[in-house]
Chains A and B, each alone.
Chain A
Amino acid sequence: MVQAKIKSPQPYSRVRPRSTIDWSQYHPGEFYDEIIGKAGRARPATRSLVEFIRKQTIKHLVSRQQAADLAIQEMGITFTVYSEGQNIDRSWPLDIIPRIIPLQEWRVLEQGLIQRLTALNMFIDDVYNKQQILKDKVVPEEIIASSPDFLKQCLGAKPRHGVWAHICGSDLVRDSDGTVFVLEDNLRVPSGVSYMLENRAISKRVLPQLFDRNSIQPVADYPSQLFDMLASLSPRAVKHPEIVVMTPGVFNSAYFEHAYLAQRMGAELVEGADMVVGSDDRVYMKTIRGLSPIDVIYRRINDDFLDPEVFRPDSALGTPGLFRAWRKGKVGLANAPGAGVADDKVVYTFVPAIIKYYLDQDPIIPNVPSYLCVNEKHRKYVLENLANMVVKPANESGGYGMLIGPAASKKELAMFAGLIKKNPRNYMAQPALKLSTAPTLCGNSIEPRHLDLRPFILQGKNHYVTAGGLTRVALRKGSLVVNSSQGGGSKDTWIVDTEAG
Chain B
Amino acid sequence: MLARTAERVYWLGRFLERAENTARLILVRHHAILDLPREVQPGWDLLLQVLGAEQDFAALPGAANEKNIISFVFGERENPSSIISSLTSARENMRTTREIMPSETWERINSLYLSVARRSNKDLPRGVRHSVLNNIIQSCQQITGMLAGTMNQDAAYQFIRMGRNLERADMSTRIIDAASAGLMGNLEDISPYRNVLWISVLQSLSAYQMYRLNVQRNVSPQDVLEFLFQSHIFPRAVAHCLGEIEHSMKLLPEHKPALAAAEKVLKKLSSTDCGELVDSELHGFIDDLQLQLVDVHAAIVDTWFTPGE
Which residues of A come within 8 Å of B, CB atoms? Answer: 73-76, 245, 250, 259-260, 262-263, 267-271, 273-274, 276, 285-291
16 contacts across the A-B interface (CB closer than 8 A): A76-B107, A250-B95, A259-B95, A259-B96, A259-B98, A259-B99, A260-B99, A263-B100, A268-B5, A269-B99, A285-B2, A287-B1, A287-B2, A288-B6, A290-B254, A291-B307
List the A side residues contacting B2 at CB < 8 Å. 268-270, 274, 285-288
The answer, among A245, A263, A286, for a CB contact under 8 Å with B307, is A286
A267 to B1, CA, bound (A): 10
Q: Measured between C-beta atoms, what is the minimum distance from B116 to chain A in Å? A: 14
Q: Measured between C-beta atoms, what is the minimum distance from B90 to chain A in Å? A: 13
A273 to B308, CA, bound (A): 13
The verdict on B253 contacting chain A, using a C-beta distance below 8 Å, is yes
List the A side residues contacting B3 at CB < 8 Å. 274, 286-288
B106, closest chain A residue (CB)? A76
Contact yes or no, B98 A274, CB < 8 A: no
A286 to B253, CA, bound (A): 14
A288 to B8, CA, bound (A): 12
The verdict on B134 contacting chain A, using a C-beta distance below 8 Å, is no
The verdict on B155 contacting chain A, using a C-beta distance below 8 Å, is yes
List the B side residues contacting A285 at CB < 8 Å. 2
Contact yes or no, B307 A73, CB < 8 A: no
Q: Measured between C-beta atoms, what is the minimum distance from A73 to chain B in Å? A: 7
The verdict on B208 contacting chain A, using a C-beta distance below 8 Å, is no
A65 to B59, CA, bound (A): 45
Chain B, 134-158, CB within 8 A of any chain A CB: 155
Chain B, 167-185, CB within 8 A of any chain A CB: none
A288 to B306, CA, bound (A): 8
Query: Top 6 nearest A-B pairs by Cβ distance?
Result: A263-B99, A262-B99, A76-B110, A288-B304, A74-B111, A259-B98
The verdict on B247 contacting chain A, using a C-beta distance below 8 Å, is no
The answer, among A73, A267, A270, A288, for a CB contact under 8 Å with B252, is A288
Given A76-B107, A271-B4, A286-B2, residue A250 in contact with residue B96 (CB < 8 A): yes
A245 to B254, CA, bound (A): 26
What 0/1 pattern do residues 100 to 126 of B give for CB contact below 8 A with A? 110100110011001000000000000
List the A side residues contacting B252 at CB < 8 Å. 288
Interface SS, A side: mixed
A286 to B103, CA, bound (A): 25
List the B side residues contacting A287 at CB < 8 Å. 1-3, 307
Contact yes or no, B253 A288, CB < 8 A: yes
A285 to B114, CA, bound (A): 34
Contact yes or no, A288 B98, CB < 8 A: no
Contact yes or no, A75 B110, CB < 8 A: yes
B303, closest chain A residue (CB)? A288
B91, closest chain A residue (CB)? A76
A387 to B103, CA, bound (A): 48
Contact yes or no, B307 A76, CB < 8 A: no
Contact yes or no, B253 A289, CB < 8 A: yes
List the A side residues contacting B114 at CB < 8 Å. 73-74
What 0/1 pattern do residues 198 to 218 of B give for CB contact below 8 A with A? 000000000000000000000
List the B side residues contacting A291 at CB < 8 Å. 307-308
B7, closest chain A residue (CB)? A288
A262 to B304, CA, bound (A): 22
Given A76-B107, A268-B5, residue A290 in contact with residue B99 (CB < 8 A): no
Given A259-B96, A268-B2, residue A288 in contact with residue B107 (CB < 8 A): no
Contact yes or no, B107 A263, CB < 8 A: no
Q: Measured between C-beta atoms, what is the minimum distance from B147 to chain A in Å? A: 15
A250, closest chain B residue (CB)? B96
A286 to B306, CA, bound (A): 9
List the B side residues contacting A290 at CB < 8 Å. 254, 307-308
Chain A CB within 10 Å, residue with most, of B3, B98, B99, B305 = B99
List the B side residues contacting A74 at CB < 8 Å. 107, 110-111, 114
List the B side residues contacting A259 at CB < 8 Å. 95-96, 98-99
What 0/1 pattern do residues 236 to 258 of B give for CB contact below 8 A with A? 00000000000000001110000
List the B side residues contacting A288 at CB < 8 Å. 1-3, 6, 155, 252-254, 304-305, 307
Chain A CB within 10 Å, residue with most, of B107, B111, B307 = B307
A45 to B115, CA, bound (A): 41
What 0/1 pattern do residues 1 to 30 of B give for CB contact below 8 A with A? 111111000000000000000000000000
List the B side residues contacting A286 at CB < 8 Å. 2-4, 307-308
B94, closest chain A residue (CB)? A76
Contact yes or no, A267 B99, CB < 8 A: yes
A65 to B100, CA, bound (A): 30
9 additional A-B residue pairs with CB within 8 Å, beyond A75-B107, A269-B2, A276-B308: A75-B106, A245-B99, A250-B95, A259-B95, A285-B2, A286-B3, A286-B4, A286-B307, A291-B307
